[in-house]
Amino acid sequence: MIKVSDTAKKKVIELMTDDGFDTRTDFVRVGVKSGGCSGLSYDLTFDKTQQENDKVFEDNDVKIVVDKKSFLYLVGTTLEYSGGLNGKGFVFNNPNANRTCGCGESFSL
């Protein structure tokens, strides 16, 4: 399961609406890809099409879709949002990560 904080929920709804997505039917696609200074990096997009091997979750009224491979890296993760002058944007609080980079956008196991 992937959890969504209250601040992330508000920002997701705002951005999805601004981009023309329907928060009731469309979803946030979260994934992991090779790259970044720590070896793996997070990928977050909005999507309307579910793939055959996707795992679907809903937390805090936000629908999240994760491909099967990425799910293994992301289980137990909380999606958070940090705004303001020193904010980073969306932040993945991943208990599986052994090491993260300073910007929080990549990690290793």
- pLDDT tens-digit map of 18-47: 999 999 999 999 998 876 555 678 889 999
Helix, strand, or coil here: 8?
A: helix
Q: What is the pTM of this model?
A: 0.81
Q: Read off the pLDDT of each residue in 7-16 and give the average, rounded to a whole number.
A: 96
Per the listing, tokens 């969504």 go with 4
Q: d(Cα 64, Cα 43) in Å, to the nearest integer? A: 12
3-class secondary-structure state, position 68: helix
First to last CA, the chain: 18
Predicted local confidence at residue 100, as pLDDT: 59
Cα–Cα nearest to 92, from 9, 4, 1: 4
Among 98, 94, 68, residue whose Cα is nearest residue 79: 94
Cα(50)–Cα(85) distance, integer angstroms? 35
Q: Radius of gyration (Cα) for the chain, nearest Å?
A: 13
Average pLDDT, the chain: 85
The letter for the amino acid at 6 is: D
